[in-house]
Structure 1
């Protein structure tokens, strides 16, 4: 009786090896891929006092894309006159937990009727990974019809600082 040995073609062994190698590389790539940037919380509230222009509870909505971030400010400040779209020059300054401030600026706003609440943004700024920013240590400035309205916080941001 003659013994028979079954030989598998070399290309099949190479095919299985290539699949295993590709799978290992894919798993390793996922393990070392950078985490997506995300700000938390995405929405916070703070109360501002804007002198003669009023004030009240204000909602800040943050979005992050790498080192770029935007914040939209939905205020309780009533428009003194009709405001055209993109007519308000705004600067939102937030205090950094590590010291200093970060400014978010822009001229974006929807058209607003007299007496309606003013919304500005998205205002753009630059952030670093790990930045902790709090509206309670900054200001909101809006230039309307050449008049600068400066709003100062009357408390801390809730639920807490934005962490980028």
Structure 2
């Protein structure tokens, strides 16, 4: 999921919105976020939201909505399936042949969460096996091609 956070009043970021983004459910599933910050005050607040609320998620501060849309389009082209940072982490570890239990331990989550990430990725890529998922991720650039592989 890609989001644009826009403040039409141009003065403050609503505390409720910042609190939601700071929560685990607030950033769940977000692949990238653009924050429209037309003035100095919202620019500072938007920067705080990016640094504090969305660590590890590609984010940009933009002067206006058209700049936000352009930035998100560019990000979407680089990540056409909208994989989240966590999903990419899981995928990279699966590619390295870690078990679901080992991945869960490394990422500090439950085994079921790892399985859910893989299920969602398989759905996004339209494949039914982890082997096919890894191959599709390589072909789209989400994972690097193996040495000697060609696209």
TM-score in terms of structure 2 length: 0.23
In our comparison, the structure showing a higher alpha carbon Rg is 1
Higher helix share: 2
Between the two structures, name the one with larger relative contact order (CA 8 Å, sep ≥ 6): 1
Q: Quick check: which one's strand share is greater?
A: 1
